[in-house]
Amino acid sequence: MTPLPLDSTHDAALMSWVDSANDPATDFPIQNLPFGRFRTASDAPWRIGVAIGDQVLDLESVGLIDTQDMNQLMAAAPAQRRALRLALSRGLSHGSEQQARFAEGLRAQSDVEMGLPCRIGDYTDFYTGIHHATAVGKLFRPDNPLLPNYKWVPIGYHGRASSIGVSGQAFHRPLGQTQAAGETTPTLAPSRRLDYELELGAFVAAPNALGEPVSITEAEDHLFGLALFNDWSARDIQAWEYQPLGPFLSKNFASTLSPWIVTLDALQPFRSAFTRPDGDPDPLPYLDSPTNRARGAVDIELEVWLLTPKMRAAGLAAERLSRSNARDAYWTLAQLVAHHSVNGCNLQSGDLFGSGTLSGPDAGQGGSLLELSQGGKQPVRLANGETRTFLEDGDQVIVRGHCERPGFRRIGFGECAGTVLPALARAPR
């Protein structure tokens, strides 16, 4: 994992002829250039675009790519991906000789429909948030919140790719088996403890062959970038079903992604040292390298906001529930790739890794209502007087994220929003 040098595309002084990209508040300045898929009508094919300010640039229309297969573009060699980023930066920079040609490829983001950023073949959800793991563990095992393997192995499970939707997704409250306290027989009913999980999603770029592990020194060459991710969870269904094999129906009814992939190239100015508390074990050699220790973490500020039906009816804005940072994750992106493939598993372009819930160490930094409400025992009070222990029908959860560091331009991820609909009226018999 050779650290990538910063180049002209990261220059904080760089300005674009797209005026909205120069707004200090935009998530998408010229230093970002995230990739996604859009279409101009519901029956039109998906096209590959790059966000710039409040616009999206159609890459094929300006001759920068010759494919509309995002997975194929993601699988290109790292040098090719960086060359494309440089070409985009030069063409969108203030004073570019290519301005007229590029301007013809711009579409207002408000005029297009965004889809999932690529074709997701497989999805693995990890458990890298040690503060979340500890907080949840304390609810069930106060004297032993972390299981013995947590600090040695990146814990994960295989999820369901087919139910992953893009920001704006609305989904029905899931049905499932639960067992009430004091009862000996479970019942099938809508979940009463529906929750969100604040996560990042990492996308695989270049695949590896079956039987050929990816070393940690090469791991980030096999990653394209990051998006915001909300892995909705039915906590009551989960509590009944998770032993002995882990999450199943409590997790696979819906997950929501933001539409833009922020590339690892764009994130280079926001890399941080990867450290562990004194006394914690060093990773095994296949999960360790000097570069991973020096730059393995990513400094991303993450937020969760809630908009309830009553707030919406009163014209109120969403309210922030929590704030945390991805640099607090216990495992790095490179470690996830190295571990996932160490047994010979063949990763494919477009595969998605969920980070697991990214909570902070302090009170109020929980990445889920399970933590913020102490398992439902302490309701979260909103400014309008409403309370929440878990999500109610009509609630919209909005995840936001950005990177900010002195000497560099702030970049963001857009929004990852999803809304809870009532359970389907009839349960199967």
Does residue 205 contact residue 74 with C-beta atoms inside 8 Å?
yes
- CB within 8 Å of 10: residues ≥ 6 apart: 31, 266, 268, 269, 408
- Give the amino acid at 374: Q
Residue carrying structure tokens 């990445």: 367
Rounded Cα–Cα distance for residues 86 and 353 (Å)? 27
Q: Which of 275, 299, 336, 303 is nearest to 127 (CA)?
A: 336
Does residue 61 contact residue 104 with C-beta atoms inside 8 Å?
yes
pLDDT in tens, the chain (429 residues): 455 679 999 999 999 999 999 999 999 999 999 999 999 999 999 999 999 999 999 999 999 999 999 999 999 999 999 999 999 999 999 999 999 999 999 999 999 999 999 999 999 999 999 999 999 998 888 888 898 999 999 999 999 999 999 999 999 999 999 998 888 999 999 999 999 999 999 999 999 999 999 999 999 999 999 999 999 999 999 999 988 888 899 999 999 999 999 999 999 999 999 999 999 999 999 999 999 999 999 999 999 999 999 999 999 999 999 999 999 999 999 999 999 999 999 999 999 999 999 999 998 899 999 999 999 999 999 999 999 999 999 999 999 999 999 999 999 999 999 999 999 976 667
pLDDT of res. 214: 98
Rounded Cα–Cα distance for residues 102 and 16 (Å)? 12
State the chain's maximal CA–CA distance in angstroms. 74
3 state SS of 397: strand
Please classify residue 217 by burial: count the beta carbons closer than 10 Å to its beta carbon, then call 0-12 exposed, 13-18 middle and 19+ buried.
Answer: middle
Q: Which of 250, 179, 240, 239 is nearest to 375 (CA)?
A: 239
Buried (b) or exposed (e) across 123-148, using 16+ Cβ within 10 A? bbbbbbbbbbbbbbbbeeeeeeeeee
Residues designated catalytic:
132
Beta strands in 330-386 (DSSP E): 352-354, 380-381
Rounded Cα–Cα distance for residues 275 and 295 (Å)? 10
3 state SS of 310: helix
Q: Which domains does the chain have, with CATH numbers?
A: 8-114 (2.30.30.230), 123-421 (3.90.850.10)
pLDDT of res. 3: 55
